[in-house]
Structure 1
Amino acid sequence: MADDSRGSVYADFMQDQLAAEETRKNSLEQRGLAVITSCGALAAFGVGALALFRQRDAIPLSAAAVCLLVGGAVTLVLGAIGGLGVNAPLRHRSANPLVLADTMREHWEDDDATARARVTATRARLLESLRRANDRRALVLLSAMTAEALGVAMLAATISVVAIGTL
């Protein structure tokens, strides 16, 4: 009986880890969507400001301001593309239903401890694969957020250059 309780502890722990990694995946994907939304809004703001300035010629834009504004819009678009990349389907191991059916047929008579050990080992492989995919998602998200921050900085620099130019 002691062996059965140890097996349950390992199985439960592995299931908790797998659930936590799935939660991490969902969180990364939600943050990726947030980056897409905010980059789109900021890029639209930057392009709209440029169009407004050009249309009215109210404030002349220096070459530096135009370069910063265009650079900001480009980096925001890159940030949005990165946000899309976070949500792109990444290959990671998943349980193949046909293989599972074969395994169950072959090992149906296994005792509980052996079955639990097999399932726990499968969960461990799934966890390792999902964690690797999530680590890649996290790096893409970091890149997207960095591009977004750079875009915001370039838009702020544009506003500063225009403001200083009008003094």
Structure 2
Amino acid sequence: MTTAGDVIGEFISAQLDVVRARRASLEARGLAVITSSGALVTLQLALVTLLPQAPEAPHPAGRALIAASTVSFLAATIGGVFSNLPRKAFHVSPQSLLPHISPDFWDASEKEARKAITTIQLKVLISAERTTRVKARTVLISFCCEMAGISCLTAAVMLTLLRP
């Protein structure tokens, strides 16, 4: 017979799998931001090199926009790196399992063991969810910085090309 505790335990275990998959996805997205920002900075440098070197080119506002895009790409890259940094999280230590193999607990019912495991899994889930939220915010901010950099760079190109 399945008990409510069994159902809750399975649910917590499934949620833990979801959070771990989400964390891995966010870390991959953070790496993508680093890669794409690096490629965009390379294109930006090529653009700056190819622009005429006369004092009137690029447009003064374009120069400021190119500088702003550089800062934005740098911020996006830093955010991508930050999203992949290891975070302090609750992990099951072997020491914490010692009470569960004591003679008093060893002969306890299966129900007690499931309850103990579910409690530990819930602590891991709470910690993992907290760190995943931080990673999600960091990746979102990184994407926004990257979009700002692209916008600034595009505006700089347009100012330069459309300049009379």
Deviation at 1:64, TM superposition (A): 1.1
Partner of 2:8: 10
Over the matched positions of the two proteins, sequence identity in percent amounts to 28
The correspondence for 1:144, drawn from 136, 142, 145, is 142
How many matched pairs?
Answer: 161
1:64-96, CA deviations, whole angstroms, 9 ceiling, x for partnerless residues? 111111210121111011001110111111111
Instruction: Choose which of 56, 59, 63 in structure 1 pairs with 2:60.
Output: 63
Please name the residue that 1:93 is paired with: 90
Return the alpha-carbon distance in structure 2 between the equivalents of residues 139 and 154 of structure 1.
22
The alignment yields a C-alpha RMSD, in angstroms, of 1.5
Instruction: Output the amino acid matched with 1:96.
Output: S
Deviation at 1:163, TM superposition (A): 1.4
Matches within 5 A, 1:72-151: 72-100=69-97, 102-106=98-102, 107-151=105-149
TM-score by length of 2: 0.92
Normalising by structure 1, what TM-score? 0.90
Per the alignment, residue 159 of structure 1 pairs with 157
What does residue 38 of structure 2 align with?
Answer: 40
SS of match in other structure, 1:155: helix
Greater CA drift, 150-159 or 61-70: 61-70
Aligned partners of 1:47 and 1:73 also within 8 Å:
no
- Return the offset for 1:105: 1.7
Contact in 2 for aligned 1:76/1:148 (Cα 8 Å): yes
Deviations 1:115-150 (A, max 9, x none): 001110111111011100000111111111110010
Alpha-carbon distance in 1 for matches of 2:5, 2:62? 65
SS at match of 1:68: helix
Counterpart amino acid of 2:90? R
Q: Runs (4+) of structure 1 moved beyond 2 Å?
A: 4-7
Q: Which runs of 5+ in 2 are unaligned?
A: none
Q: Which amino acid is 1:48 matched to?
A: A
